[in-house]
Structure 1
Amino acid sequence: MEICGNEEALQKVDTALFCLSLDDFPIKDFVHLSHTMLHGDGANRWYDKSFNLIIAKDGTAGINFEHSWGDGVAVLRFQNEVFKDSTKVPAVSPQSQPASVDSSRAVQKLDFKLNDALKAGITKAKQKFDASVESLSIDMIQFHEGGKELLKQKKVSPDAVVQLAFQMAFLRQYNQTVATYESCSTAAFKHGRTETIRPASIHTKKCSEAFVRELSKHSTEELQKLIVECSKYHGRLTKEAAMGQGFDRHLFGLRYLAQSKGIALPDFYQDQAYARLNYNIISTSTLVSPAVQLGGFGPVVPDGYGVGYQVHDDWIGCNVSSYPTRNGKEFLQCIHKSLENIFSVLKGKKVGS
């Protein structure tokens, strides 16, 4: 593009702090909202920018952010500030008069010079983009039979319970346990980014099998104990990850150093178990804030699920993305059933299979 004389226009895009995308349509529902903020039609987004601030015709706003420079914690901080300012001390209101600014001078259209090769490349990229978007499904549920308050009252970790529900759901749907990823912020450290929590453990496997395969063999008290075990272990993993005691980033750092220095990778990295561990079929992330209605992302592998979730005081929200090899709607039904069973057991009720 630079060869065709677009250097100046590209420089302006490159030096901009972020991209403001104005969509000329209202948002229909949460699924439409998710698709719009996650990908849109690709025509008025610049995905390589630090973030795209997207505003629909009805004023619904969202952020699509590029992940290499930072994480959800930083973006959420920005979002919270914008939400607070725009709701508590708004600079404009429906009664505001238009500013006396000549917009033709304040706003400048960037014209790109395109030759036939560039036009063909753009057409091909758009076709590829459309095909990828076409194959992406997004589904969601809201579970209203309890949330953070009840779980804390029962002395179990809300995050552990939701992660356990994902494990139970996958076992119910596919009769197996797979590599699972949960993001944990290491912002306690200077330049800290994230570490991985590994929610699939021997404890969640044992508990999931009891609920899914052997429900009639266990008393309510036994099932409660299994949930508490999962909660304790998950709490330990979370603390370790947050304080830099996880293993994923450590192993990644060593692998990266070996590769950058041209050293042969140790056998450990060639092991099939290491490859499977890093093929995360269930990838999960959570952020809760009054400024956020929902959040989500695409699956990180072709046959995976991208799970964005929020645990509120009295309800739990879950947003799942998938490609055609997986059935996201069915997975969510299994999550809902798992949450129902877990909450019933914690309330001391007998669960029917």
Structure 2
Amino acid sequence: MAEAHQAVAFQFTITPEGIDLQLSYQALNQIYLSGLRSWKKRVSRMRNSVIKGVYPASPSSWLFVVIATLVTMYMHSDPSMGLIAKIQQHLPLSLNVSLSAQGQTVVSALVFSTLLWLSLILALRFCLKLLLSYHQWMFERHGQISNTTKVWVTLVRLFSSRKPLLYSYQTSLPHLPVPAIKDTLSRYLESVRPLLSDVEFKQMTELASQFESTLGNRLQRYLKLKALWATNYVSDWWEEYVYLRSRSPIMVNSNYYGMDFLYVTPTPLQAARAGNTITALLLYRRKVNREELKPSRVPGTVIPLCAAQCERMFNTTRTPGAETGTAMFSPVSLHYNVLQHWQDSEFVAVYHNGRYFRLWVYCAGRLLSPREIEYQIQRILDDSSPPQPGEEKLGALTAGDRIPWSQMRKQYFTSGVNKRSLDVIEKAAFFVTLDDEEQGMRGEDPVKNLDCYAKSLLHGKCYDRWFDKSFSIVIYKNGKNGLNAEHSWADAPTVAHLWEYTLATDAFQLGYTEDGHCKGQVDRSLPHPQRLVWDIPSEAQVQRSLAVAQALADDVDCHVFPFRDFGKGRIKKLRISPDAFIQISLQLAYYRDRGGFCLTYEASMTRLFREGRTETVRSCSNESCDFVKALEEEQCRRLFQLASEKHQNLYRLAMTGAGIDRHLFCLYVVSKYLGVESSFLKQVLSEPWRLSTSQTPVQQMELFDLKNHPDFISLGGGFGPVADDGYGVSYIIVGEDMINFHVSSKYSCSETDSHRFGAQIIKAIQDIMTLLSVDSKTSSSSKSTAQPETKKLL
């Protein structure tokens, strides 16, 4: 058994001659090296804290200020205007006794220089925060940049000239502003106008007006007070009440997935793919810990985005928390969830064939080579030992309802071997599943196989993933991979950044040998991966959780398809935003599919602000509805332009903190704390999002050479439907000529069909492009024929 290979630092035997102490120098050396690695990390963190603490200045600038002060004093000039003399008068008596007059002056100058340096840092940071609070640049047309924006860009570049660490900008990012309640209500009414009849809209307008004149302003005052005190007035409540307070399964309902390359599988060997994937993830973690990653920025600009979500990427688990006596949203007791994060972890948890293992990824203070991790993974694959009673389907507890999982955890996992084994999973850097299936776009029916691939990553067998981990990696039998991510700790762009780095590092940097194995040497004396031990006296609750999860998984209808007719290159030639083009196409597709319009959710980031997460772009607007209706009646280039501009404006408002839904959500939370009811807020927050959409951004195109390696393109990822009678749509714009779509719905709803909706999306995109291309050619032709006339007139 693997347990027999655990190292022991010392052994002792009591004999008549005394105590015979036997030290294991190899084990002690491992302890020493592991401790040395930990201290190196502590020193690195302290160093980074100093560097980012003085940003945008540098630590060496202190020496420049000191020298400048001393040189000025040497020239018989007082740069402090008498402050140095006052500091010298207040020096401790012990210093006055031990130092000469000249020494006291130098010490006073050092104190003054340090205070001046700190003041300059605060001033620089304040100026940078003011600069980053300017968002008018987002609303200016391409090629029509104002002089104010040009000066602003120059100043931002000047303040950002030093190479920043990952978290250098955090203290300089502005706080998310609270929109005026009048503006939010006005934008809300505008967003629901195309969805309501005249009578319904009149009633909603009256509700909004009543809310503003009575309860709204009172709630707004509390919200402004929180905004003054808290770093971000939305994020903590959003995390707690939208994610962590949920009692329903997080599998399908909350977790999302990311896919491998579409056309390429770098190696067919499961253990080798696992070796490189795990190594790449751990290299990314090292960059995060050392803050060596470049801060994310708005694409094509120098504007930084908040990096706070990176902090809990690894060594993090969502756990079912204790029962509370009161609940904000319910008069009865409530089970909630807790996010637990550990500073470091030197192992990963691995699931294979119904067994759980702990795989150490460090040895003697060094990261194992990819070939060594492959060797260890192969040991797990070759292990033929059967699962222990209750072990195989234990993961179903994380897939079902949260209350039973909390009760089961409290009853069976608070002590003994169960607690120790559960601690290994929860404290692991991340979770790895070695799946016994083959997935990907393969075989005689690649379309159907892509759909199966998506369903596998979204829920698997409902017990072979640990859905509570911040993310779980899945390595399939044929070498394909993917991930399943828990949603509460971060949003998809943060995970997408990680996954882009992992795929690129795996394929282009680490690479494989000609026979498909990982590169590197193997130390065959490595201890075997450790089997986790369980004592599960009853499997009844596991089976009940599995039944709930299985019913949920069986109901999900996933459809994944790449659109290759054209991509953002052709769309941008028409001077149209690719995102607006796709969103309006989705409106047209939904109208054709369901015969009407619906409340549409598009996720937009608010990471221009500190600890920002997301805001909703309500893509179904008056302008988009007018265009769709006009297109069905065969007239409408101008209406599409209006709809596109409207969508872009809505997106910019959401990014700059002037969205609708997070403000209304926080007002609702305040009303619950105050114990008051608002029929307006209650109705607003109960409206279903029948079309929930999200774009997966490509953030690191420099990692992928699509010209020389055109097949190494990612499929992106997707998520489950938000409404029982709606669609979930995720899309990724890859390169210039391709858009990949992920559509989900529920089989139990007779009105939805993911494949049918996918076909409607393709037709809508093609029809709109045909319309715009014809109009564009007509416009160009008119201009060319009119040109000679103009010359004659001149």
The CA deviation at 1:99 is 2.5
Q: Which has the higher contact order (CA 8 A, sep 6+)?
A: 1
1:115 aligns with 2:537: yes
Per the alignment, in what secondary structure is the counterpart of residue 774 of structure 2?
coil
1:138, CA displacement in angstroms?
A: 0.9
Query: Partners of 1:140 and 1:7 in 2: how far apart?
Result: 40
- Which of 257, 273, 283 is residue 692 of structure 2 equivalent to? 283
The within-5 A match list for 1:1-353 is 1-4=409-412, 5=416, 6-29=418-441, 30-90=450-510, 93=513, 94-95=516-517, 96=519, 99-102=522-525, 105-116=527-538, 119-212=539-632, 214-215=633-634, 218=635, 223-259=636-672, 261-271=673-683, 273-276=684-687, 279-289=688-698, 292-312=714-734, 313-324=736-747, 325=749, 326-348=752-774
Pair 238,144 (structure 1): closer, same or farther in 2 beyond 3 Å: same
Distance change >3 Å, CA 142–CA 85, structure 1 → 2: closer
Following the alignment from structure 1 to structure 2, what is the Cα–Cα distance between the partners of residues 20 and 128?
A: 23
Give the counterpart letter for 2:731 in structure 1: Y
Q: Is the 8 A contact 1:146 1:343 kept in 2?
A: no
1:274 Cα offset (Å): 4.6
Q: TM-score, normalised by structure 2?
A: 0.41
How many Å separate the matches in 2 of 1:198 and 1:102? 58
Distance 1:243 1:227 in 2: 24
- Cα deviation 1:232-251 (Å, max 9, x = unaligned): 11111111111111111111
After TM superposition, the structure 1 stretch with the greater mean CA deviation from structure 2, 59-68 or 135-144, is 135-144
Q: Which amino acid aligns with 2:689?
A: N
Amino acid of the structure 2 residue aligned with 1:301: A
Distance 1:143 1:87 in 2: 24
> Shift of the alpha carbon at 1:101?
4.0
Cα displacement (A) at 1:78:
1.1
Taking the aligned partners of 1:246 and 1:106, their CA distance within structure 2 comes to 53
Amino acid at match of 1:204: S
Shift of 1:32: 2.1
Q: Gaps spanning 5+ residues in structure 1: where?
A: none
The answer (yes or no) to whether the contact 2:493–2:697 under 8 Å persists in 1 is no
Q: Does the 8 Å contact 1:23/1:54 carry over to 2? A: yes
Which protein has the larger Cα radius of gyration, Structure 1 or Structure 2?
A: 2
Q: Do the aligned residues in 1 keep the contact of 2:715 with 2:732 (CA within 8 Å)?
A: no
Normalised to the residue count of structure 1, the TM-score between the two structures is: 0.89
1:165/1:340 CA distance change after superposition, 3 Å: same
Change (3 A) 1:112 1:98: farther
Whole-angstrom distance in 2 between the partners of 1:317 and 1:344: 20
Shift of 1:106: 4.3
Structure 1 residues 42, 206: CA separation in 2 closer, same or farther (over 3 Å shift)? Answer: same
Q: 1:184 to 1:106 in 2, by over 3 A?
A: farther
Deviation for aligned residue 1:203 = 0.7
Whole-angstrom CA distance in 2 between matches of 1:306 and 1:173: 14
1:236 aligned partner, one-letter code:
N
Which amino acid is the alignment partner of residue 696 of structure 2? L
Output the CA distance in 2 between the equivalents of 1:191 and 1:349.
44
Q: How far did 1:180 drift?
A: 0.7
The answer (yes or no) to whether the contact 2:732–2:739 under 8 Å persists in 1 is yes
CA positional deviation for 1:34: 0.8
The 8 Å contact of residues 141 and 319 in structure 1, kept in 2 or not, is answered as: yes
Q: Secondary structure at the residue paired with 1:321?
A: strand
State the 1:122 CA deviation: 0.9
Is the partner of 2:740 in helix, strand or coil? strand
**Number of equivalences:** 336
Cα gap change, 1:262 to 1:275, in 2 (>3 Å): same
Match for 1:255: what amino acid? Y
Partners of 1:173 and 1:196 in 2: CA distance? 23
Report the Cα offset of residue 266 of structure 1: 2.6
Tell me how far 1:85 sits from its aligned partner. 1.9
Structure 1 residue 98 displacement after superposition = 7.0
Displacement after TM superposition at 1:275 (Å)? 2.5
Aligned CA RMSD, in angstroms, stands at 2.0
Sequence identity percentage: 29
C-alpha contact 1:161 1:231 (8 A) present in aligned 2: yes
C-alpha distance in 2, partners of 1:11/1:257?
A: 36
